[in-house]
Amino acid sequence: MTLNDIESWRTLPAAQQPEWPDNEALGSALADLRSYPPLVFAGECDQLRGRLASVAKGEAFLLQGGDCAETFVGNTADAIKNKLKTLLQMAVVLTYAASVPVVKVGRMAGQYSKPRSSGTETRDGVTLPSYRGDAVNELAFTEAARMPDPERLKRMYHSSSATLNLVRAFTTGGYADLRQVHAWNQDFVALSPSGERYERLAAEIDGAMRFMHACGTDPEEFRTVEFYASHEALILDYEDALTRVDSRTGDLYDVSGHMVWIGERTRQLDGAHIEFASRIRNPIGVKLGPTTSPEDALALIDKLDPNRDPGRLTFIVRMGAGKVRDNLPALVEKVAAAGAQPVWVSDPMHGNTFEASSGHKTRRFDDVLDEVKGFFEVHRALGTHPGGIHVELTGDDVTECVGGGDEIFVDDLHQRYETACDPRLNRSQSLDLAFLVAEMYRKS
């Protein structure tokens, strides 16, 4: 393969791309990006594909989560640590309570662009381009802020690099050591019912580890955590500029993240995004919304995973709590009958968004839970593996989704509504979800 092989997407329609006002400035930003070092190593992408192959075979569970939209100003040490801590706590709950190895993938270090329902936003009679993520423009509602600026693509690279650097330090430098299982919860235990529940589980894990230590076993695996980065491959110019030929194999890898996914709005079979994804060797996710037909799913498999490589393709199902039980079975059945074995993951967020009476875009925790339940029920009935969850969450105590054990009401939403795009589960709601999913997993 040569870098020319990645360019085939350019001849096809590419949905949801920014309208850059200055092509010369875009060209210059892309040239800089092409000269930058990779953010991840192709070998790590292969390793993740191996882990996802275990998920596809029913031997592990995928936990994928993070912000709806990362932002440059929100990319602080505390925010990264809190998100990572939340994901580690969820993983511990799932690993211990469901007794299943958990593959940990952040929606982090690259989640800077957003597809939008409408290209423009109108407020008080003023219409401006929609916010498309910090990689493109700014959230502030002014003409200057909403103007796409390709220099932002370089900031996306640098912010992703900084996040990855800290995440790698935390996950290999001692912070993620399983002996810290209590420490991750210290600031939280007294604050929420799920924090207390977690504390009890952490005490059991502590006991088990002391027992193993006393027996002379102190596995190295407890000291570090394997953690991967993923984001939506939305802005194809950026992903293209970060694609490299792997010197080991000669294959193409998008080294902007370990795993990338194609969203519900850009997964057209004859579109540029699927073409781009078909050319790279990274593990690929594709969102499947409620209108997906079995034929769509099979065609996606033929295009993206013609060799039926377990771990190559993850279907991220986001149908909505009211639809998943009706629409998912035909997909899973036909895909299995065709001999394919993608990873099946539930995204219980994107099909359950609504506008609250307060005007905030929100989601009900109960709907989120119900969609995951429906997803598990379908797989249980068909004898297939409910491979994981994909969740929009933050480690901060925001008030963006209603419900949860530490209940948030519509009237609370204004208190800490901080997302740049869609509502995320806060830390308490995320842990609640992990406990409930662990129960479902055990039963299935």
Ligand X SMILES: O=C[C@H](O)[C@H](O)COP(=O)(O)O
Ligand Y SMILES: C=C(OP(=O)(O)O)C(=O)O
The residues of the shown chain that bind ligand X, judged by CB under 6 A, are 68, 114-117, 350, 421-422
- Choosing among ligand X, ligand Y, none, which partner's interface includes residue 116 (Cβ < 5 to 8 Å by kind)? ligand X
The residue type found at 65 is G
| Interacting span for ligand Y (CB under 6 A) from 30-38, 263-271, 273-281, 425-433 | 263-271
Asked whether residue 265 is marked as a ligand-binding residue, the answer is yes
Q: How far is the CB of 263 from ligand X (least distance, A)?
A: 7
115 binds ligand Y (CB under 6 A): yes
Binding to ligand Y (CB under 6 A): which residues in 307-336? Answer: 318
- Choosing among ligand X, ligand Y, none, which partner's interface includes residue 318 (Cβ < 5 to 8 Å by kind)? ligand Y
Binding to ligand Y (CB under 6 A): which residues in 210-239? Answer: 232
Among 67, 138, 239, 264, contact with ligand Y (rule: CB under 6 A): 264
Asked whether residue 355 is marked as a ligand-binding residue, the answer is no
Q: How far is the CB of 355 from ligand X (least distance, A)?
A: 10
Asked whether residue 380 is marked as a ligand-binding residue, the answer is no
- Choosing among ligand Y, ligand X, none, which partner's interface includes residue 264 (Cβ < 5 to 8 Å by kind)? ligand Y
Site string for ligand Y, 269-308 (x = CB under 6 A): ------------------x---------------------
Asked whether residue 10 is marked as a ligand-binding residue, the answer is no
Ramachandran class of 174: left when φ > 0, alpha when ψ lies in -120 to 50, beta otherwise: left
Q: How far is the CB of 354 from ligand X (least distance, A)?
A: 11
Q: How far is the CB of 69 from ligand X (least distance, A)?
A: 7
- Choosing among ligand Y, ligand X, none, which partner's interface includes residue 232 (Cβ < 5 to 8 Å by kind)? ligand Y
| Interacting span for ligand Y (CB under 6 A) from 70-78, 248-256, 257-265, 268-276 | 257-265
Q: How far is the CB of 4 from ligand Y (least distance, A)?
A: 29
Structure tokens belonging to residue 153: 């693509």
> Which residue's CB is nearer to ligand X, number 289 or number 405?
289
- Choosing among ligand Y, ligand X, none, which partner's interface includes residue 287 (Cβ < 5 to 8 Å by kind)? ligand Y
> Which residue's CB is nearer to ligand X, number 38 or number 115?
115
User: How far is it, in rounded angstroms, from Cα 248 to Cα 133?
Assistant: 34
* Residue list, annotated binding site: 68, 107, 264-265, 287, 318, 350, 392, 422
* Residue list, annotated binding site for phosphoenolpyruvate: 107, 264-265, 287, 318
* Residue list, annotated binding site for Mn(2+): 68, 350, 392, 422
Q: Which stretches of the chain bind ligand Y, using CB under 6 A?
A: 68, 115, 232, 263-265, 287, 318, 350
